Amino acid sequence: MKKGKVLLGVVVGASLVFGADKVVLKKPPESLKKYYPPKSQKFEFLSNMYSMSTSFYAVNLNINEGKWGKALEWAEKLRDTYLETSKMVPEWKDYFKPKLAEDFVKAVQSKNVDRVIEASKKLGQTCSKCHQDNQIAVKLVFHFPSFDEIKLEDPIEFMEVKTSDYMKKLSNSMKALKVYLTQGDIEMAQEAGTNFVERARGLRAMCSKCHTQKISEEAILGKAYEEALAKIEELLSAEKPNKEEIFKNLTLVGTTCTKCHNVHLIPEMVQEAFAK
Ligand code: HEC
Ligand code: HEC
Ligand code: HEC
C-alpha cells in the first residue's frame, strides 16, 4: 500500500498557504468580473475551483481504496473542468497547462501510483502558481462590495457625502474635540464634541446598506459604543468637563472604529488602489 503518498501531490494542488518573502497584489483582469457580483451571483469561477479541488481529492481517495475506475472518472472530470476554466479568463490563459491535465488522466489510467503522484504534482503546481499571483487580490476585490457607492447623510451639514468624505468629517470632528479639550477651549470642544457624537451615531445608517442582519451591526456598533457616545455627550455638558473621562471614552469609541476598519478598510484600500 502506498497510502498517503498520493495525498502529497493533492495537497500541492489545493494548497492555500504558500511561503513567500513578498506578497504582490496584481490587479485582477477585467474579464473575471463576469463571474462575480454585481454581474453574476453564481461565482462561476470560484465554483469551478471547488469542483477541481474536490475532484483532485476524489482521485486520491479512490486510489487509496483501490477503486481505479472511480478515480479515473474523477480525473476526467478534473481535466474537463480545468479545460473549461482555462477559457473563462483569457488574460490568464497561460497559467493553464492542458497537457498536464491530460497527463494526469493518463497516469490514473496506467494505475501506477508513482506516475499519479508525479502527474498530480505537476498539475498542482499550475494551480499554486496562479494562486500565489492572484488569489489574495481576487478575494479582496470581489468578495467585498465597494464602499465607493455608499452615501451617508451628514447630520451636521445636512448633505449626502461619500463614505470617505464622511469618515474625514467624522475623524476631523474627533480631532478637533481632542485639540480644544487639550487647549482648554471648552466651548469649542463642546461644539466639536457634539458634531462628533452626531456623526458617530450616523455611522449606523451605513451598515444596513449591505448587511441584512442586525447582528453584524451590533457586533461592532454595539451597546458599549452607544454608551461611550452618550457618556461623552454628558461629560461635555458639564460646566468644567472632565477631560480625562472624555479621553477615556474616546479611546473606547476609537477601538470601535478600528474594529470596523480591520474588517472593511483593507479590502477597500486595495480596491481603491486598483481603481486609480
Ligand atoms: C463600516 C465600518 C466603519 C466604521 C464603524 C468606521 N469606519 Fe472609518 N472607514 C471605513 C471605510 C470602509 C473606510 C474607507 C472609505 C473609502 O476610502 O472609501 C474608512 C476610512 C476612514 C478614514 C480615512 C478617510 C480618508 O479617505 O482619508 C478615517 C480617518 C476614518 N475612516 C475614521 C473613522 C473613525 C474616527 C471612526 C469611528 C468614530 C470610523 N472611521 C468608523 C469604515 C468604517
Ligand atoms: C488562472 C488562475 C488559477 C488557476 C490555474 C487555479 N486557480 Fe484556484 N483560484 C484562483 C483564484 C483567483 C481563486 C480565488 C477565487 C475567489 O476567492 O473568488 C482561487 C480559489 C481556489 C480555491 C478556493 C479557496 C477558497 O477557499 O476560497 C480552491 C480550492 C482552488 N482555487 C483550487 C484550484 C485547483 C485544485 C486548481 C488546479 C487544478 C486551481 N485552483 C487552479 C485562481 C486559479
Ligand atoms: C459596502 C458594503 C458593507 C457595508 C456598508 C458594511 N459592511 Fe460589514 N461586511 C461587508 C462584507 C462583504 C463583509 C464580509 C462578510 C460577508 O461576505 O458577508 C462584512 C463583514 C462584516 C462583519 C463580520 C461578519 C458579519 O457578517 O457579521 C461585521 C461584524 C460587519 N461587517 C459590521 C459592519 C458594520 C458595523 C457596518 C456599519 C458601520 C458595516 N459592516 C458596513 C460589507 C459591508
pLDDT tens digits, one per residue of 57-73 = 999 999 999 999 999 99
Joined together, the cell numbers standing for residue 248 give: 477615556
Q: Is the pLDDT of residue 8 over 50?
A: no
Residue 17 has what pLDDT? 59
Question: Ligand 2 pocket, 64 CB below 6 A?
Answer: no
Question: Ligand 3 pocket, 205 CB below 6 A?
Answer: no
Question: Ligand 3 pocket, 141 CB below 6 A?
Answer: no
SS3 content of the chain, % helix, strand, coil (to 5): 75, 5, 25
Q: Which ligand is nearest to the CA of 256?
A: 1
In whole angstroms, give the CA distance from residue 27 to residue 138: 8
Residue 71 has what pLDDT? 98
pLDDT band with cut points at 50, 70 and 90 for residue 276 = confident
How far is the CA of 15 from the CAs of 9, 30, 124, in angstroms? 10, 25, 9
Question: Ligand 1 pocket, 177 CB below 6 A?
Answer: no
**Alpha-carbon torsion (99, 100, 103, 104), positive or negative:** negative
Question: Ligand 2 pocket, 96 CB below 6 A?
Answer: yes
Residue by residue, DSSP assigns 85-124 as: HHTT-GGGGGG--HHHHHHHHHHHHTT-HHHHHHHHHHHH
Residue 23 has what pLDDT? 85
Q: Which ligand is nearest to the CA of 261?
A: 1
Nearest CA to ligand 2 atom 21: 49
pLDDT band with cut points at 50, 70 and 90 for residue 16 = low
Span from the CA of 212 to the centroid of ligand 3 (angstroms): 10
Span from the CA of 273 to the centroid of ligand 1 (angstroms): 16
Ligand 1 probe mutation, 261, 270, 271, most atoms within 8 A of CB: 261
Residues 144 and 267 sit within 8 Å (Cβ to Cβ): yes
SS3 256: helix
Question: Ligand 2 pocket, 35 CB below 6 A?
Answer: no
Question: Ligand 3 pocket, 207 CB below 6 A?
Answer: yes
In whole angstroms, give the CA distance from residue 135 to residue 1: 36
Span from the CA of 220 to the centroid of ligand 3 (angstroms): 9
In whole angstroms, give the CA distance from residue 187 to residue 110: 84
For 181-201, what is the mean pLDDT?
A: 97
For 231-237, what is the mean pLDDT?
A: 97
Q: Is the pLDDT of residue 9 over 60?
A: no
Span from the CA of 109 to the centroid of ligand 2 (angstroms): 25
* pLDDT one-digit tens code per residue, 136-180: 999 999 999 899 889 999 999 999 999 999 999 999 999 999 999
* pLDDT one-digit tens code per residue, 98-124: 999 999 999 999 999 999 999 999 999
Question: Ligand 3 pocket, 166 CB below 6 A?
Answer: no
pLDDT band with cut points at 50, 70 and 90 for residue 24 = confident
SS3 152: strand
Residue 3 has what pLDDT? 47
Residue 90 has what pLDDT? 97
